[in-house]
Every structure is written in C-alpha cells, then in structure tokens.
Amino acid sequence: MNATRHEEFREYVASRGSVLLRMAMQLTGDRAEAEDLLQAALAKTYLAWDRINDPAAIDGYVRRAMVNTQISWWRRRKLEIYPTDELPDQPVDDHTRRSELHDALGRALDRLPQRQRLAVMLRYYEDMPETEIAEVLGVSVGTVKSTVSRAMAKLRDDAALGSQFPDLPPDPY
C-alpha cells in the first residue's frame, strides 16, 4: 500500500473509529470484545483498502467485516462455552507434581535391566505393537510380552516410586 493510501486509512480510522466501536459494542455487548472485533475488522479492511474504490462503501465494508467476524467467533465459542449459574470444580494442574512424577518414573526406569527398560520404552513411549518390538529386539512375541509384564510389575512394586506417590492408580489390567 502506498503512503497516501496508508494515510487515507489512518484518517478514516481516526474519523470513524468511535462510530464503528459503538456498532461493535452493539454486536458484542462487551467493550473488550468490541475493541477486539473492531480491530479484526479494521485489519481485514486495511488488507482490502486498495480494492475499495467508493469512499461511501467503506463503512459498509467495515460493518460487514465486523458482522462476519462476530458470527465466526460466535460459532467457535458456541462449541466451547456453556453458561451456568454454578461454576464446576476445576482441578488445578500441578506442574510440580507432574515433574516430580516424571523424574521418579525416569529413575525407576533406569533401575530396570536394559532389555526390560527398552521393551517398556518401545511399548509405551513409542507405542509400538509387540510384533514390531520382537523384530527390533530379535526375540519372540511371547518374550516381549513377558518382558514387558515383568518390567511393569517391577515398576508397580518400586518402593521409591510407590512411597513418593502413594495415590498412583492401580494396574488397569
């Protein structure tokens, strides 16, 4: 966009901004959302500024951009927001606990024999089926199953892991 068109856009926003903001307020009902909506519509208008030949059509273009953007936002939020009088209990994400669990699990894996550790890593971290693990390790599928089973039993019985995290869920199998 050349400098004159850029300056024309700046003057348009300065002169019509408050009127357009009132319309955005009517669409959203919230000042912060209205400002976001107007900014999004003006960004779209700025990109199309060279194609708008009739100065009388600019307001209509911005209004249409606001309406289309608001409808798009409304559709997206419709799937995410469910108004209610009561707030549901939100579990607090405990990053520290997750990090401690990750470290403890890493130490417990390090205590496993190499083949068991490798079998567990391939099975649960790489999500490989037993047949592929058997090919990688050069053993039978039955050996993979028993190796993973023994490794998981050791991890469940690991005293350090269990004492640090007594509320870990039991084996789902």
pLDDT-derived band at 78, boundaries 50, 70, 90: low
For residues 173 and 46, give the distance between their C-alpha atoms in angstroms, rounded to a whole number.
Answer: 60
pLDDT-derived band at 14, boundaries 50, 70, 90: very high
Q: What percent of the chain has pLDDT over 90?
A: 15
Catalogue the long-range contacts made by 91-100 (C-beta closer than 8 Å, 24 or more residues apart).
Answer: 100/164
Would you say domain 95-164 falls under CATH 1.10.10.10?
A: yes
Of the candidate ranges 16-25, 42-51, 91-100, the one whose mean pLDDT is the lowest: 91-100
Q: Report the chain's mean pLDDT, rounded to a whole number.
A: 81
Name the residue ranges covered by the structural domains of the chain. Answer: 3-78, 95-164
CATH class of the 3-78 domain in this structure: mainly alpha
**Residue 102 reports pLDDT greater than 80:** no
